[in-house]
Chain A
Amino acid sequence: GAGVSQSPSNKVTEKGKDVELRCDPISGHTALYWYRQSLGQGLEFLIYFQGNSAPDKSGLPSDRFSAERTGGSVSTLTIQRTQQEDSAVYLCASSLVGDRGRGEQYFGPGTRLTVT
């Protein structure tokens, strides 16, 4: 079946604008993760959704960042009033079970966000 998909693949926006990044996880996967990868850096955890449980938002860097997961499937990461330091690749991953087990994470291709 299809893997994790993300859209758009690239997004260029002006400083101060809001952006929405979309993630379509693998069908049936209950867990969904958002990460941020800056150039030359390791992945930075942002937020984790598991089924109907309250999401783990501990990785969100500021209140300008928020995410939703509708109907247990598609997720949207929203960044308000974007800043230049928000420029990065935003990766989404899903897994069949939550990572509290050995759930293997499958990654999407990412969205490259550039804030000018």
Chain B
Amino acid sequence: KNQVEQSPQSLIILEGKNCTLQCNYTVSPFSNLRWYKQDTGRGPVSLTIMTFSENTKSNGRYTATLDADTKQSSLHITASQLSDSASYICVVKESNYQLIWGAGTKLIIKP
């Protein structure tokens, strides 16, 4: 069964600290993996999209990694800011177009 599992479920860190969010998937055949940021009460906004051949991709203070062999991805946030408080969702696309959504990690940044 195609699944996307994220950990931790929630995370609280102090402003300025770094953090890493994890995503494990069993989706096959794999097409690409996306990380979205969803602020409370808003729709998800894309952060990165990675294909099979891409190991690392950065978007400002966000760096995503992908290990297609172990079917794992991570999202690293550097020097966190209060505005980073949101849910971060990992989404894996099957080759036949279906998107499999993770439940997300709720990140809270405290001053």
Contacts and interface: CB of A to CB of B under 8 A. Distances in A.
Interface residues of B, number: 19
B101 A102 contact: no
Contacts of B1: none
Interface in A36-66: 40-45
B97 A4 contact: no
B32 A102 contact: yes
A109 interface: yes
Nearest to A56: B97
Interface residues of A, number: 20
Interface stretch (B44-52, B55-63, B68-76): B44-52
Instruction: Label chain A's interface by main secondary structure.
Output: loop
Given A42-B4, A42-B89, A99-B97, A104 B42 contact: no
A99 B98 CA distance: 8
B42 A109 contact: yes
Contacts of A25: none
Interface in A2-34: 4
A96 interface: no
Interface of A: 4, 35, 40-45, 91, 93, 98-100, 102, 104-105, 107-110
Q: Which 3 A-B pairs have the closest CB atoms?
A: A107-B43, A42-B101, A43-B101
11 contacts: A40-B103, A42-B103, A43-B91, A45-B101, A91-B44, A98-B97, A100-B97, A104-B46, A105-B46, A109-B43, A110-B43
